[in-house]
A and B are shown apart, each in its own frame.
Chain A
Amino acid sequence: MRVIRHLPLTTLTAAIAFAGQAQAQTEITVGTVNNNDMVIMQSLTDAFEQAHPDITLDWVVLEENVLRQRLTTDIATQGGQFDVMTIGTYEVPIWAEQDWLTPLDDLPADYQIDDLLQSVRKGLSYDGTLHALPFYAESSMMFYRQDLFSDAGITMPEQPTWQQVRDWAEQLHDPANETYGICLRGKPGWGENMALVSTMVNTFGGRWFDMDWNPQIDSPAWQEAVGFYVDLLNNYGPPGASSNGFNENQALFSRGNCAMWVDATSAAGRIFDPSQSQLGFAPAPIAETPKGSHWLWSWALAIPASSDSKDAAREFVTWATSQEYVELVAKEKGWASVPPGTRVSTYENPNYQEAAPFADFVLNAIQGADPTDSTLEPSPYVGVQFVGIPEFQSIGTQVGQMVAAALTGETSVEQALQAAQRATERTMQRAGYLD
């Protein structure tokens, strides 16, 4: 398989060498997500190849879930199909522990490693060594329509609470004019609805597991948080909320259909339009505790241990996450489109501050998220909106489906959480955490 795959390349290289251009070409395969920022990266391929004439890039751009499946199967079976993988803060420590990733120590001095935001850097490290470099990072925050708020005479406090959000949603909900009180993620999936629901559970004082890894999903805090979420979204949300993910909500909000929207900070650059200043920003709402009320996520570029062109891959990874790359995007696409949340220097740049008035909120949210301490009561895991264990993908997907079932009214919140608790107990038993 590998021989066949490389055969055309070898012939090509041989042909080039024969033609007198004795240059060793290395082709690296980059697997990435079809998000906006990554599509920009792909469109800048020429810039990279011109600066590094001996490296060519081969892109595999896929939808998030499909990419995750492809990458996980490839790396777990030592397939070696990819030289650069786009993975998140969830995968990095888990894969690093299995020795599946190349440690990224002794980076060149001009990479300015200390320029990376501390919380993001911590999230991508295992045993104190970076195993992936952050491409962009995000937390969660609240967006709202300032025009509706000022018409209704509401002033946004510095730190809103979920109870206040509920009151405002009730006041601003106007389905006859297609303006809904609040838009939230409802589409099942551990990276979709469970990201938001986990932060709500955190701030309502709940946690996924106690210190002995017993699932806590049927606890009162979960009942309260999920009950609040279901009630809020059913009463003051858009129709069909259970199939709305990040992209659907972004479309709804930018069409003006939502008075409020709590979601990823990375949306700010996409929905912000300098010609219309009615977009308001606020921190993610809290309830019992501010701990874990907003998430921390980073898409990062890693080099699998199974890659056979690690040096070329390292060249690319350091280029795509450098300050130089940020400036290149700013030049080509404008400052509002630069990948956010990774470097202090981006936030200190006056051009960026001017083009992106939301920069402070984003920076505060990212810096304020602590994956190692995100629950009111102590928990044994790392991660705000996820649990940093391999089994969580399965658990999060199952619980996400149950919560969606409660949202559509197919089951009650209590039944859904009990079913989720049982399913999680089974998974944890099978994985050997519980007897």
Chain B
Amino acid sequence: MNKTRTSGRTIGGLRTLSLQAPAVSLLFLWMIVPLAMTVWFSLQRYNLLMPGMTGFAGLENYEYLFTDPALWSAMGTTLLMVGWVLVITVVGGTLLAVLFQQEFMGQGIARVLAISPFFVMPTVSALVWKNMMMHPANGVLSWVAELFGLPAVDWFSSLPLTSIVIIVAWQWLPFALLILLTAMQSLDEDQVEAARMDGAGPIAIFFFITLPHLKRAISVVIMIEMIFLLTIFAEIFVTTSGGPGLATTNLAYLIYIRALLDFDVGLASAGGVIAIILANIVAIFLVRMVAKNLES
């Protein structure tokens, strides 16, 4: 009896292990092979246009990258872009969520319309913004400016970063709205009622009841958006191509320039490794913050 039990256990353990193994090892390979290859390439001298110049480069690629003024400017641009889009979407999303929570005529249709920008492909929305909204001659915005007798603004050359932030924020605002509106619906009406009876005005209710209630949802929004916004690419590629100068080159776009315009695989891989490290630092902090929030 004992024997069979022990052996049964062992067999059972082996059995689950062998069932898990394919999935786990596939996932592990999925992660480790590209990562290892990126790290390997980042240590190589490898430029597609110069087949003669190959070999182990050591940390040369990293050294070249860290002394590149474009890298620091790209990091700054990335942070500015992410920061501003987060501020706009979170603040705007919260206010819109409160607004759409109210009962009014055509609430359903209005909600669908407000959420729809999120379903437009980034390249398409960037093209629409570029050619129909912000174009200095044919754009809607220049037409509006003209109505008020103001000179037309050439958005992408005079306010490049602002333009990109506007486009991206327009796309992500519905996402924030969607999450926050769902969270709003779980807000206890009785609590609001009680507060109102105690004499709290709408502003006080917003700051002391609604906002604390939305805290978790907001941190989820921040985390998810951050992950996606660190790699904004399509909007930049379609509208400004990272320019003028380096004004809208973020880290993702810089890696693209190095890898696909300069064909420098080694350097681009080094850029990729730096981006992975940066994203992980951000993720660790955020995950901790969110996890703490969700526990309490």
Contact = CB atoms under 8 A, between A and B. Distances in A.
A72 B48 contact: yes
Contact of B68 (A94, A394, A409, A426): A426
A73 B264 CA distance: 11
A416 interface: yes
Given A76-B263, A94-B49, A393-B262, A401 B245 contact: yes
A240 B154 contact: yes
Interface string A407-424: 111110000100100110
Given A394-B262, A401-B242, A72 B49 contact: yes
B241 A76 contact: no
A397 B261 contact: yes
B207 interface: no
Contacts of A416: 245
Contacts of B68: 426
Contact of B257 (A77, A391, A397, A408): A397
Given A76-B51, A408-B157, A239 B245 contact: no
- B interface bracket (residues with beta carbon within 8 Å of A): 20 to 34
B114 interface: no
Interface of B is mostly: loop
A174 to B, nearest CB: 16
Contact of B245 (A76, A397, A405): A405
B136 A240 contact: yes
A98 B52 CA distance: 9
A243 B157 contact: yes
B5 to A, nearest CB: 51
A177 to B, nearest CB: 14
A430 B46 CA distance: 12
A72 B47 CA distance: 11
A72 B263 contact: yes
A408 B158 contact: yes
Interface in A394-410: 394, 397, 401-402, 404-405, 407-410
A390 interface: yes
A405 B257 contact: no
A431 B246 CA distance: 23
Nearest to B156: A243
Nearest to A397: B261
- A interface bracket (residues with beta carbon within 8 Å of B): 35 or more
B257 A410 contact: no
Most buried by B among A239, A393, A397: A239
Contacts of B246: 401, 405
Contacts of B242: 401
Nearest to B48: A76
Interface in B25-83: 47-51, 53, 64, 67-70
Nearest to A411: B245
Contact of B137 (A188, A240, A431): A240
A76 B157 contact: no
Contacts of A402: 245
Interface string B202-234: 000000000000000000000000000000000
B244 A407 contact: yes
B48 A242 contact: no
A273 B47 CA distance: 47
Given A401-B243, A430-B64, A432-B53, A393 B136 contact: no
B69 to A, nearest CB: 8
B91 interface: no
A416 to B, nearest CB: 7
A410 B47 CA distance: 32
Interface of A: 69, 72-73, 76-77, 94, 98, 188-189, 239-240, 242-243, 390-391, 393-394, 397, 401-402, 404-405, 407-411, 416, 419, 422-423, 426, 430-432
- Please name the 3 residue pairs, one residue from A and one from B, whose CB atoms are nearest each other, closest first: A405-B245, A76-B48, A390-B49
